[in-house]
């Protein structure tokens, strides 16, 4: 859940360092997200790094992947919880590589605004598909997710033309039960 007690001064300092517009949240319709403090592992991603989610999202993920497997679909976790510090590093790396901040913010939420901070967002792929690519929308895994993920509390966060100005991410799903 969003926490309106997030240290906004700290986020403002990070934003100033990274040249993120001060009105980023209001323009994008995004609110600061608290970092999860209770996380559980859900499995390793294809690179061998352990992916973590908050406990209830992890239970929903496990149930969803079990049901997908029963239908012959393998869902792979690519990324789950991501700290504000890690989000900051991702943007620093892109800035150091010469990417302009407006281009970066079309692909990555500003530190403090990412659903990954909550431990309830997960980037998903499937075997033999390159992770974090729009082509994921053409896979049986994506078709299965669009039909069934809602039953487990997951929704696609950034469809085409989303109001947040973040590029289409068919791999990014957020757990928010009804």
pTM for this one? 0.91
Are 175 and 56 in contact by the 8 Å Cβ rule? The answer is: yes
pLDDT tens-digit readout, 37-91: 999 999 999 999 999 999 999 999 999 999 999 999 999 999 999 999 999 999 9
Residues 6+ apart with CB under 8 A from 84: 11, 14, 35, 111, 112, 114, 117
* For the chain, domain boundaries: 8-175
| Separation between Cα atoms, residue 131 and residue 79, nearest integer Å | 10
pLDDT for res 5? 57
- Would you report the helix, strand and coil content of the chain in percent, each value rounded to 5? 40, 15, 45
Compute and round to an integer the Cα radius of gyration of the chain.
16
Domain 8-175 has CATH 1.10.3720.10: no
Half-sphere exposure of 134 (CA within 13 A, CB side): 6
Above 60 in pLDDT, residue 1? Answer: no
pLDDT for res 3? 43
pLDDT for res 7? 75
pLDDT for res 128? 83
Provide the 10 A C-beta neighbour count for residue 8. Answer: 13
Provide the 10 A C-beta neighbour count for residue 113. Answer: 26
pLDDT for res 130? 85
């Amino acid at each position: 859940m969003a926490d309106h007690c997030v240290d906004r001064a700290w986020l403002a300092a990070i934003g100033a360092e990274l040249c993120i517009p001060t009105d980023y949240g209001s323009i994008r319709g995004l609110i600061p997200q608290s970092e999860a403090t209770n996380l559980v592992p859900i499995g390793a991603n294809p690179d061998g790094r352990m992916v973590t989610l908050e406990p209830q999202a992890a239970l929903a993920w496990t149930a969803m992947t079990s049901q997908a497997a029963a239908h012959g679909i393998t869902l792979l976790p690519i990324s789950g919880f991501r700290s504000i510090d890690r989000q900051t590093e991702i943007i620093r790396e892109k800035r150091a590589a010469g990417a302009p901040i407006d281009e970066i913010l079309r692909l990555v939420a500003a530190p403090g605004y990412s659903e990954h901070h909550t431990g309830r967002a997960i980037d998903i792929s499937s075997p033999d598909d390159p992770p974090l690519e729009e082509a994921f929308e053409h896979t049986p895994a994506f078709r299965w997710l669009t039909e069934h993920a809602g039953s487990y509390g997951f929704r696609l966060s950034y469809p085409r033309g989303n109001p947040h100005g973040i590029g289409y991410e068919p791999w990014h799903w957020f757990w928010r039960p009804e």
